Structure 1
Amino acid sequence: MTIKERISYFSKLGDFLKNFNTENDVALNLSEIDKKYFDELEYKINSAVHYNGWFTRNNILFALKQWSEALTEENLETWLKTYTIKEDITPKTVAIIMAGNIPLVGFHDFLSVLISGHNVLIKPSDNDKQLLPVLCNYLAELNSEFESKISFTQERLENFDAVIATGSNNTARYFEYYFKNKPNIIRKNRNSVAIIRGDETESELKALAEDIFRYYGLGCRNVSKLFLPKNYDFDHFYKGIYHWNDIINQNKYANNYDYNKAVYLMSEFNILDNGFLMLKEDEGYGSPISVLFYEFYENKDQLQQQLEEKAGQLQCVVRKEISAKNEVKFGETQHPKLWDYADGVDTMEFLINLN
């Protein structure tokens, strides 16, 4: 397959994913291939919902929608035009150890390996193993060459040339030791933060709520901490996010809320609480589910210096006026572009240099 053909096939996959959306569950005017895989993916969506309590139908459809919007020929070509990808490479086998915190969280690595011309060996997370195989089958239907380029395993990884592994800080130490003799990208825990000026509109805070609550806060792009000006009006913040109050009706989220509230009350920590989200003043960056840490700042330059020092822990910095590469506006954390790499590591450059 040529690069142009691979772009075309992934673009067609993006078109297929457009059939799945939160507004209308009925897909119309499907092609023959789409008809074949529509019911299969619907079945696997329902399976994923039953298998993993965090994977609600709404969140899965949200993830599919983001990929349908990303996988266009224009986006793929814009992403790849800055690289020199040779047509006549000798494909390497790249193993991907995927996380399972949000639906299809490992898809960008999967896409990067295949679009660069290499073969992929996938070790999926038990928490997210329903959806990706259907997308692989769809690609193989478009071109049978994908069958020999994609493989899955639940066993110990063998016969691979490089690895991309995502896990916690603890598992990362194991990965770094185990894969020290292979070219690798090892990803650790990261968190996202938001900088509040105090003059945000209600619509901006509503957008920020999406950054906080989408996927129940389980993703590295979810905001887990606020930086606030002194004497900030918390009522203004809580009014802006109140439209997410139904989240407390999700059992797993509610269980975390009840547990964390009990721990904080017994420990006599000072918390703010609106019935579905607790705010706790804390210097940490990774807050528990149902909790948002906050920290006051007085000097913007000092805050900027602090964030630069903590850059290795941060995925996104959300603010009203963006000025740096990893900064995004309110409501944009869950809409990354193809060229927005996890941990700031250029996956495509890594893959191109394998040859």
Structure 2
Amino acid sequence: MKSIQNRITAFAKLGDFLRQFSIDNIKKIDSIEHNEIFFDGFLHQIKLAQENNSWFTKENIRLTFESWSKALTESNLTHFSKDVKLNNNPSKKVAIIMAGNVPLVGFHDFLSVLISGHEVLVKQSSNDKHLLPFLAKYLEYVDPNFKGKITFTEEKLTDFDAVIATGSDNTARYFEYYFKNKPNIIRKSRNSVAVITGKETEEDFIKLSDDVFHYFGLGCRSVSKLYVPKDYNFDAFFTGMYAKKDMINNAKYANNYDYNKAVYLMSLFDLLENGFLMIKEDESYASPIATVFYEYYDNEIDLKIKLHQDREKIQCIVAKDFIENEVAFGQTQYPKLTDYADGVNTLEFLSTI
């Protein structure tokens, strides 16, 4: 593999390619490299991805592309890759086991391995198997040095030097045992929370609706839990959530809403709901689809201590001038390249294998 600059340029060109598929519209740009080969083919892969997984709506797939097109710029990639420690060690083969909860959910690991100069062996989830192999082919066209460096497999993983695996808390235990003799990053389940102080504007809550509803709440960066002051009135929150009222028109989402509502009512739980979203007082972080949990807090210092103690369970904290490293309302699904999942610096790990 040639210089890191070549790899940066290739991924920046991939960002340009993805820029054609924004959440608002799809627009072919004649100046994009290899468009004559890849544009129509990618439209077909998007269609297959939608048919394969009904959570992968057109909007959710294009939201992913928009997010990555903003991240994959020459300047962002240059800043990101300054953490790559260039040494004379031979390239290693890194296996990645990807989740399938949101489109291209393993792309950051894929990018990190390749930008570090290693080979990648990808085992995808059956829920998300169409998009990444096609984008990998695009990368190989843009920079032929990637050829032979990217392998996809559905078989048992063999012949690799290190592994990055993402799964539930249960599968993580299996991964930790199975890969104990290899350098590894094992990612477990995480959820995101929002801290409400009572000073939020109507616009803040409309933006928060993005954090709650994008990807139907299935992503680890989706807000599944609220912390609210004692005796908080939820009217302003529900007013903001109303921006996403059309969610209920998705049959799969509606089925989950109806099912979870029936379970809660039969269990005599106290609920607040608005016809497409339920909120329930609960100490857990992971809430079912169409539900957001909430918990009251007495004072901000105690809450900050709790959030620090539970940091292994939390991916993002959405707030407004509340805590260090908070994410602004509406921004959870637009992470920077340096917003490492679980706070583990992947590039640093890859420089040590």
TM-score range, shorter chain: over 0.9
Partner of 2:340: 341
Tell me if structure 1 keeps the 8 A contact 2:304–2:323: no
SS of equivalent to 2:272: strand
For 1:140-155, list aligned pairs within 5 A: 140-155=140-155
Q: CA deviation at 1:168?
A: 0.2
Q: Offset at 1:23?
A: 2.2
Are 2:104 and 2:131, in contact at CA under 8 Å, matched by a contact in 1? yes
Partner of 1:350: 349
Supply the distance in 1 between the matched residues of 2:186 and 2:338 (Cα, whole angstroms): 18
Q: Read off the aligned partner of 1:281 and give its amino acid letter.
A: E
Report the counterpart of residue 197 of structure 2 in structure 1.
197
- Structure 1: runs of 5+ lacking an equivalent: none
Structure 1 consecutive aligned stretches of length 4 or more whose deviation exceeds 3 Å: none
Secondary structure (helix, strand or coil) at the match of 2:34 reads helix
TM-score (normalised: structure 1): 0.97
- How many Å apart are 1:322 and its aligned residue? 5.0
Matched length: 352
Find the aligned partners of 1:26 and 1:3 in 2 and give their Cα distance. 30
Look up the match of 1:286: 286
Aligned to 1:309: 309
Q: Distance in 2 between matches of 1:184 and 1:56?
A: 32
CA distance in 1 between partners of 2:29 and 2:83 (Å): 37
Cα gap change, 1:166 to 1:334, in 2 (>3 Å): same
Once residues 168 and 216 of structure 1 are traced to their aligned partners in structure 2, the CA distance between those partners, rounded to angstroms, is: 18
CA-based RMSD: 1.0
Kept after mapping to 1: 8 A contact 2:81/2:115: no
2:58 counterpart residue number: 57
1:85 to 2:81 alignment: no
* 1:207-252 per-position Cα deviation (integer Å, ceiling 9, x unaligned): 1110000000000000000000112121111011101000011111
Cα deviation 1:124-165 (Å, max 9, x = unaligned): 000000000111000111122212100010010010000000
> What runs of 5+ residues in structure 2 fail to find an aligned partner?
none
CA deviation profile, 1:256-284 (whole Å, cap 9, x unmatched): 10010000000000000100000000011
Q: Shift of residue 35 of structure 1?
A: 2.1
Range 13-22 or range 311-320, more displaced: 13-22
Query: What is the TM-score when the length of structure 2 is the normalising length?
Result: 0.98
Matched-pair contact (CA < 8 Å) for 1:89–1:117: no
Question: How many Å separate the matches in 2 of 1:83 and 1:185?
Answer: 17
Structure 1 stretch displaced more, 9-18 or 26-35: 26-35
- Describe how 1:183-194 pairs up with structure 2 within 5 A: 183-194=183-194
Residue 332 of structure 1: aligned partner: 331
Aligned-pair CA distance for 1:285: 0.6
Change (3 A) 1:25 1:202: same
| Identity fraction in percent | 57
Whichever residue aligns with residue 241 of structure 2, its letter is I
Letter matched to residue 59 of structure 2: N
In structure 2, C-alpha distance between the alignment counterparts of 1:58 and 1:279, rounded to whole Å: 25
Which aligned pairs between 1:143-222 and structure 2 lie closer than 5 A? 143-222=143-222
Distance 2:348 2:32 in 1: 35
Query: Partners of 1:342 and 1:12 in 2: how far apart?
Result: 24
Larger deviation, residues 24-33 vs 304-313: 24-33
Cα 1:201–1:31 shift into 2, 3 Å: closer
Instruction: Provide the C-alpha distance between the structure 2 equivalents of 1:144 and 1:214, rounded to a whole number of angstroms.
Output: 35
Asked whether the 8 Å contact 1:322–1:328 carries over to 2, the reply is no
Matches within 5 A, 1:202-281: 202-281=202-281
Letter in 1 for 2:331: E
Amino acid at match of 1:242: Y
